[in-house]
Chain A
Amino acid sequence: MTSTAQQVGLVARRSLKRTLRQPALIVPTIVFPLFLVAINSSGLNSATKIPGFPTDSYLEFAITVPFIQGAIFAAITAGTELATDVESGFLNRLQLTPLGRTSILFGQLAGATAVALLGALTYLVVGLAAGVTIHAGVLGTVVLVLYAVFAAVAFSGVGAVLGARTGSPEAVQGAFPLIFVFFFLSSMNLPRNLIDVGWFRTVATWNPISYLIEGLRSLIITGWDVTALARGLAVATAVLVLSFWAANRALATRMERT
């Protein structure tokens, strides 16, 4: 009998292989956030002159964005991959083995997590090459990457809910703009205290994505800000717990096996 860890390992290896063999899935998800940060950091650089802006380099402020965008892309990748397995019948193939439901769920997310790690390392290298200084030092850099991957795992659970519930890769991708709206309605481009429009500042304050961004950002522009980090990690943990609970339920409904 295969142990749960071995089962997860087998499914994860398959997920990794199929994801890494699809350059069309990886390249845009890594390159697009870099384009966005390049455009924003050149167009919004004058924002650093606003009194109270926390750094004099907009690139240092904005380089956080690709890391969180990578987590959102991980959600789409994980959801699309799971939905493809439902649609193609591959999930039925897995169901006919002694494989447990949780093993399927965790194993299936390996590919999306790998893309997120690859993305995080790319953004880090590009950022450092462009002159970004990580004020939390070497240990902070390691925490930065781990934080980004943790957020990606949490969001891939959201993707898995969509994938398991809809069973349609197109439907998962259709949800992408909606997720992106949440992303833009956050403190992505400006610190919350400098957002001048009242409703926007309120939405950004209630938007959990703001705290994810701010936790990560603190490592780059501040150093060790325990409060910001704890808030960010709390949001990521909450997303992880809720999304995996919901994904497990959605998969249970999808897998009717006796």
Chain B
Amino acid sequence: MDNGIVVEGLVREYKGGIRAVDGIDLEVAPGEIYGFLGPNGAGKSTTTHVLTTLLPPTAGRARVGGFDVAHQGAEVRRRIGAALQEAALDAFLTGREHMDLQAGLHGLSKAERARRGAALLERVGLTEAADRKVGGYSGGMKRRLDLALALVHEPAILFLDEPTTGLDPQSRSALWDEVGRLAREDGVTVFLTTQYLEEADVLAGRVGIIDRGHLVAEGTPDELKREIGGNSVEAVPANPDECGRAAEALVRFGEPAAHSTKGAAVRLRDGAEQLPEIVRALDDAGVRLAHLQLHTPSLDDVFLAKTGRSLEGAGEREGAEDADRDPEPVAA
């Protein structure tokens, strides 16, 4: 059975002609963790809603687990689990009652519901809190319960829409461990949307970067970083008047980089081994350094290179943000 995802020219348009998703092509191999990275309003959640059959596509095709999302919704739903952006839980039910309801709706017998519910609650560390009402759970506990609920019918493909947003570092790390284990040990295909660079870097085998509804880059995190060049070095003089001299001294080591606001930066042509030479060149130019830093490229650098904007906070400037989060549908 094919447990992958294939998307071809996917479009989702909302009222007023806003295209939250505008012609996306991507493929996710069975058992792979695919990171779908982008700022708020980029189209991540809309893509997830289409792939999980909650929204019909306006144009294009998408097959999930070998089935067409537009025409074989029930088959797709049978094979997927999803923890959407809002951990939609009932504050008046306990964790165990949530598991029982979800497992029951997926057709599990009463005995199987109890067994599977207890096993999953233990796996996500909620056994002790299982009989407490969810209204009293912390954000991390809710996210873990949400993940357990998505796994109750043993799906082959898991959609996680910003699963760690708002979590403390400890809860985030625990969730990463569990997602990694699911792909590694159980062979579950994971489609993970995130706006956290670190999350995509740590978890994803491959990353797709989406901006304003378009996929602007795709590859492994290392490939994407290599694509935009090697390390960069930033020199911040103690005296701001020496910035020009610092830039002149650095220019022979590579292309100027834009990320320094207090000094000068270049993307190194030959790598980190040039550092001693750089220090000597700055010294020869009479630049007294306050700070010298070697930067390894991040996915934010990739985003910056592809879109001309930094990923951090890019969504706040996006007009399409509301469209992605609170869609007003039009006939597809």
Q: Which chain A residues in 85-114 approach chain B with CB under 8 Å?
A: 88-99
A-facing mask of B263-284, CB < 8 A → 1, else 0? 0000000000000000000000
Q: Does A135 contact B (CB under 8 A)?
A: no
Interface centre among A6, A13, A17, A258 (most CB of B within 10 A): A258
Q: Distance in Å from the Cβ of A164 to the closest Cβ of chain B?
A: 14
Q: Distance in Å from the Cβ of B75 to the closest Cβ of chain A?
A: 10
Q: Does B106 contact A (CB under 8 A)?
A: yes
Across-interface contacts of B73 in A (CB, < 8 A): 257-258
Q: Does B107 contact A (CB under 8 A)?
A: yes
> Which listed residue (A11, A93, A256, A257) contacts B88, Cβ 8 A?
A93
Q: Which chain B residues in 87-109 approach chain A with CB under 8 Å?
A: 88-90, 92-93, 97, 101-102, 104-107
Across-interface contacts of A18 in B (CB, < 8 A): 90, 92-93
Q: Does A10 contact B (CB under 8 A)?
A: yes
> Which listed residue (B54, B55, B69, B85) contacts A96, Cβ 8 A?
B54
Across-interface contacts of B74 in A (CB, < 8 A): 98
Cα separation A21 to B132 with both chains bound (whole Å)? 13
Q: Does A22 contact B (CB under 8 A)?
A: yes
Q: CB distance B97 to A17 under 8 Å? A: yes
Q: Which chain B residues in 203-248 approach chain A with CB under 8 Å?
A: none
Across-interface contacts of B93 in A (CB, < 8 A): 14, 17-18
Q: CB distance A88 to B105 under 8 Å? A: no
Across-interface contacts of A21 in B (CB, < 8 A): 92, 133
Q: CB distance B54 to A95 under 8 Å? A: yes
Q: CB distance A1 to B107 under 8 Å? A: yes
Across-interface contacts of A1 in B (CB, < 8 A): 107
Chain A: residues with CB nearer than 8 A to chain B?
1-2, 6-7, 10-11, 13-14, 17-18, 21-22, 88-99, 256-258
Pairs A-B, 8 closest by C-beta atoms: A89-B88, A258-B73, A97-B105, A18-B92, A89-B86, A2-B107, A21-B92, A90-B88
